[in-house]
Amino acid sequence: MLESIKQMLGMGPKTDLGEVLANGGIIIDVRTTGEYAGGHIRNSVNIPLAELGTRMSKFKKETPIITCCASGMRSSSAKTMLESNGFKQVYNGGGWSNLKKFEK
């Protein structure tokens, strides 16, 4: 049970997110539009968490997706939501600033 909680919060076994992106992965930033406007990762897609349910159909379920937000809580919810809708390769990237090193 502890392992599943750690994994849900993005604290499980470390995935090389740089490799995920190099292999065609995308970053979905689930912060609000205003938060995103205040700073974000270049080439990331902004879909506020409240809109994700109605907008996830624009992505292929085989596409690797990294979710991010301000701290990792909303991105964890987004990861769970995507997985429950059949997306197979979803990773919680945590806070968007943690992913800046992967910016293209």
Which residue type, as a one-letter code, is found at position 26? I
- For the chain (104 residues), the mean pLDDT of every run of 10, in chain order, is 56 80 96 97 96 96 97 96 97 93 81
What ranges do the domains of the chain cover?
2-9+16-102
**What is the spatial distance between Cα 35 and Cα 20, in angstroms, rounded to a whole number?**
25
Task: Check residue 13 and give its pLDDT.
Answer: 61
Looking from the CA of 34 toward its CB, the CA atoms found within 13 Å total 0
Task: Check residue 60 and give its pLDDT.
Answer: 96
Write phi, then psi, for 75 (nearest 5 degrees): -65, -30
Task: Check residue 30 and give its pLDDT.
Answer: 98
CB 63 within 8 A of CB 24: yes
Domain range 2-9+16-102, CATH class = alpha beta
